[in-house]
Chain A
Amino acid sequence: MKNNEAAENEGLLVRRIKNGTVIDHIDGGEALNVVKILGITGTTQEALSIATNVPSGNMGKKDIVKLTNRELSKEEVDRIALISPRATINIIRNFKVFEKKGVEIPTLIEGLVRCPNPGCISNTHEPIRSKFRVRPEGIHCIYCDWVISRDITSHII
């Protein structure tokens, strides 16, 4: 019953979508960053709904992003995992949840984050993508050993 109420309340904020993806349980305040890392800009044609700081039993506050007519690639899901590891991805087809999955932080992040070290070879015109290994203390550039331990969002390409 509670879930239905929540769903109804949520429905007031963001409409159900016929086909597309609902990214739920985004950490409160991170929805705009999720939109940014998905490359969604003012010129994007498809409908986009964002709800921020929605009350959540488990999380306190959460954000939700609904994208119509778009399913996410693994790389996009990896990007979301970096900034919101509790997020869930719901693929919607014909108004029904076709697939629901959590995000998983990969052990190696390739091409998603720019190394903040200006002396790093990955910041040159070499034909490589940045590579970071995920470690408990943060993400670790495999080229120059730089560790990003906070505010990873600001380094996402």
Chain B
Amino acid sequence: MHHIISIGDFDRDGIDRLLDHAGQIQKKKYDAHALDGRILAVLFFEPSTRTRLSFQSAMARLGGTSLSVGSVEACSMAKGETLADTVRVVSGYADAIVIRHPKEGAARLAAEFSTVPVINAGDGAGQHPSQTFLDLYTIRQSMPLDGLDIALIGDLRYGRTAHSLASALSLYNARLHTICPKGLELPATLAAQLAAKGTEIIEHDNLEEIIPDMDVLYVTRIQRERFPDSASYFNVASSYRITPELLAGAKKRLIVLHPLPRVDEIDPRVDALPHARYFEQSRNGVPVRMAMLMQVMQ
């Protein structure tokens, strides 16, 4: 049985194959009945808009249907049921499970107890492989993945999308440039793992200075609740804000990505610039997730 739990479970060939498949799907070269009669259980124990909807859209486009729990409050976890039991039960109702959970490692646990394939749609501050695939896919639409200079900006401590992307890019000899508020740096264990793989990680204080050398800006949301008061949040957040003025000296091929939702991190005026790819990135979630669903269910 094939699960998709962590980008770390994939080698470079495996990632490239999935991205190639997503590319074919985007060109409409796929069987719209590939998953006819199949059911996807969408088990989300945390709020989500894009990930949940794009998985459901992906399943529908392949002819399948999806089941989902309305809210965490409405499900049996609220009665104290273990995730292991929930997964054992739900795997009897569906042909695959997509799970989002606040605890790190929840998807790995789900895979141990499930009798059907499990896809991780985000576990705590841990992994979010489907987001990583669509991030890589969006980058690859603009430039080859090899040897990129990518700036990871914002909340790098709790931002699981940045963790997964950093791990994946280590397979492509990327140089990672990190820019984040104090206390929101990449977790030390992740930084050590990346360094052990030979990935160069360069910490910076000034975003403006490094823009001319970057190929990709990967911007993540700095969460207001990480700060003691609104004033200190706005003070920090404003120093990481992407504006057209900031991008004036950028390479022509530079792209700006954001897993969304954005709050204050990207000036809406940037949306009109050719560098802005975050809405395209979000749209890419559907073909990429279609490729993932086909991989685990066929």
Residues of A within 8 A of B (CB): 117, 119-122, 124-128, 137, 141-147, 149
Minimal beta-carbon separation of B8 from chain A (angstroms)? 7
Whether B196 sits at the interface, judged by CB under 8 Å, is: yes
How far apart sit A124 and B102, CA to CA, in the bound complex (Å)?
12
Q: List 23 A-B contacts (CB under 8 A).
A: A117-B104, A119-B104, A119-B124, A120-B103, A121-B83, A121-B104, A121-B108, A121-B109, A121-B123, A125-B82, A126-B82, A126-B84, A127-B84, A143-B104, A143-B105, A143-B108, A143-B109, A144-B124, A145-B104, A145-B126, A145-B127, A145-B190, A145-B193
How far apart sit A93 and B82, CA to CA, in the bound complex (Å)?
46
Chain A residues, Cβ within 8 Å of B126: 144-145
A146, closest chain B residue (CB): B189
Residues B192 and A147 in contact, CB atoms below 8 Å apart: yes
Residues A122 and B193 in contact, CB atoms below 8 Å apart: no
Chain A residues, Cβ within 8 Å of B106: 121
Minimal beta-carbon separation of A37 from chain B (angstroms)? 24
How far apart sit A124 and B83, CA to CA, in the bound complex (Å)?
10
Please indicate which of the listed interface residues A121, A127, A128, A147 has the most CB atoms of chain B within 10 Å of its own CB.
Answer: A121
Chain A residues, Cβ within 8 Å of B104: 117, 119-121, 143-145
How far apart sit A149 and B196, CA to CA, in the bound complex (Å)?
13
Chain B residues, Cβ within 8 Å of A144: 104-105, 124, 126
Question: For chain B residues 1-28, which have a beta carbon within 8 Å of chain A?
Answer: 6, 8
How far apart sit A146 and B108, CA to CA, in the bound complex (Å)?
14
Q: Which 5 A-B pairs have the closest CB atoms?
A: A143-B105, A144-B104, A121-B105, A121-B103, A144-B105
Residues B189 and A145 in contact, CB atoms below 8 Å apart: yes
Minimal beta-carbon separation of B78 from chain A (angstroms)? 14
Q: Is the interface of A mostly helix, strand, loop or mixed?
A: loop
Chain A residues, Cβ within 8 Å of B36: none
Whether B125 sits at the interface, judged by CB under 8 Å, is: yes
Chain A residues, Cβ within 8 Å of B196: 137
Chain B residues, Cβ within 8 Å of A147: 189, 192-193
Residues B189 and A120 in contact, CB atoms below 8 Å apart: no
Residues B125 and A126 in contact, CB atoms below 8 Å apart: no
Whether B112 sits at the interface, judged by CB under 8 Å, is: yes
Interface size on B, residues (CB 8 A): 24
How far apart sit A33 and B277, CA to CA, in the bound complex (Å)?
55
How far apart sit A137 and B102, CA to CA, in the bound complex (Å)?
27
Chain A residues, Cβ within 8 Å of B84: 126-128
Chain A residues, Cβ within 8 Å of B192: 137, 147, 149
How far apart sit A144 and B126, CA to CA, in the bound complex (Å)?
6
B102, closest chain A residue (CB): A119
How far apart sit A101 and B234, CA to CA, in the bound complex (Å)?
62
How far apart sit A120 and B103, CA to CA, in the bound complex (Å)?
6
Chain B residues, Cβ within 8 Å of A127: 82, 84
How far apart sit A43 and B225, CA to CA, in the bound complex (Å)?
48
Chain A residues, Cβ within 8 Å of B124: 119, 144
Chain A residues, Cβ within 8 Å of B8: 145
Chain A residues, Cβ within 8 Å of B193: 137, 145, 147
Chain B residues, Cβ within 8 Å of A121: 83, 101, 103-106, 108-109, 123
Residues A124 and B103 in contact, CB atoms below 8 Å apart: yes
Q: A119-B103, A119-B125, A147-B189 are in contact. List 13 more A-B contacts (CB 8 A).
A: A121-B83, A121-B103, A121-B106, A121-B109, A121-B123, A125-B82, A126-B83, A126-B84, A142-B108, A144-B124, A144-B126, A145-B104, A145-B189
A149, closest chain B residue (CB): B192
Chain B residues, Cβ within 8 Å of A126: 82-84, 109
A116, closest chain B residue (CB): B189
How far apart sit A12 and B170, CA to CA, in the bound complex (Å)?
58
Chain B residues, Cβ within 8 Å of A119: 102-104, 124-125
A144, closest chain B residue (CB): B104
Residues A122 and B189 in contact, CB atoms below 8 Å apart: no
How far apart sit A52 and B258, CA to CA, in the bound complex (Å)?
57
